[in-house]
Amino acid sequence: MRARFVQIDRLTHIDSSGAAKMVDVGDKDVTDRRAVARARVVMLPATAKLVADGDAPKGEVLGTARLAGIQGAKRTAELIPLAHNLALSKVDVEIALDAESGVAEITCEARTRDRTGVEMEALTGCSVAALTLYDMVKGVERGVRIESVE
C-alpha cells in the first residue's frame, strides 16, 4: 500500500519569519493514527547467511535490530526536535531476511490515538533498526548499504 500524497502550500513547522516552530495540535481531534515505514538493507549473501544462521560475531542480529527499532520509535521526540511526544499504543518491527540475495526488508508500524500522526515514529524505528543491523555486521562487512527508508 502506497502512501497518499497531499499537496500543501506552506511548510507547517516554519513561522512567518522563517524560524522553526512546533506545530500546535491542541485543537485537532483525537483520532486513531497509524503509519508504516520500510527500509531496505543490502549486504553480501555470505554476511546474510551468518545473520540467518545466528553466527554473527556480535550475536543475534535480527532480534537486536528489532528491539532497537522499537526503542527508536519510542524515543522519536528526543531525537527529532519538533516531533510531539506521543503515547504509542503499538510499535511493531519485522525484518524479512533473504539470505540468498543478501537483502533485509525492515517494516516498522506505529500506532497511537492522538492529535498528530506517527509517521516520524515509524520512520525513526525503521532507521534505528537498519542502523543497528549495520552495526551488528560491520565487523564482517563494511560494504553494507541502507538503500532506502520510506
Choose, from 9, 24, 29, 135, the residue flagged as catalytic.
Answer: 135
Residue 33's region, left for phi above 0, alpha for psi from -120 to 50, else beta, is beta
Residues 94 and 85 sit within 8 Å (Cβ to Cβ)? no
The residue whose grid cell reads 527529532 is: 80
Q: Does the annotation mark 135 as catalytic?
A: yes
What whole-number distance in Å separates Cα of residue 129 and Cα of residue 70? 8
Cα dist. 121→79, 132, 136 in Å? 10, 16, 22
d(CA 104, CA 124): 17
Q: What is the C-alpha separation between 123 and 129, in angstroms, rounded? A: 10
**Which residues are marked as active site?**
135
